[in-house]
Amino acid sequence: MDAMGEPTTGDVDKDFVQMMKPHHQAAIDMAQSELRYGHNEQLRRIAQEIIVDQQQELLAMDMAIGKRPAANADERSASVKSALTEESK
């Protein structure tokens, strides 16, 4: 993990989760942009799946290392549901 240029804790599992979080969040952010501004229905469906999948993986990784879900996880989930509802109108 040290080769990635990230500070390490000495716990490979925790380091892995810490490095994967920005990657997953970036995927969620890009998918939300596609939902807000994209017009291709196939890509919009893919973006919806990406949001759900990446959020589940973030939660699963936190739980795997014994970390409680982030307090804003419910807020983030509600925000995504709201965006999906608005876009389907």
Q: Which of 45, 69, 67, 34 is nearest to 55 (CA)?
A: 69
User: 60 with 16: CB under 8 angstroms?
Assistant: no
Q: Which of 17, 60, 54 is nearest to 32 (CA)?
A: 54
| Per-residue pLDDT at 26 | 97
Reported as half-sphere exposure (CB side, CA atoms, 13 A), residue 41 has a value of: 1
| Per-residue pLDDT at 62 | 93
**Overall pTM surpassing 0.75 (yes/no):** no
The pLDDT tens digits for 62-73 are 999 998 876 655
Q: How far apart are CA 13 and CA 70, in angstroms?
A: 18
Asked if residue 13 has pLDDT above 90, the reply is: yes
The pLDDT tens digits for 26-64 are 999 999 999 999 999 999 999 999 999 999 999 999 999
Report domain extents, the chain: 11-87
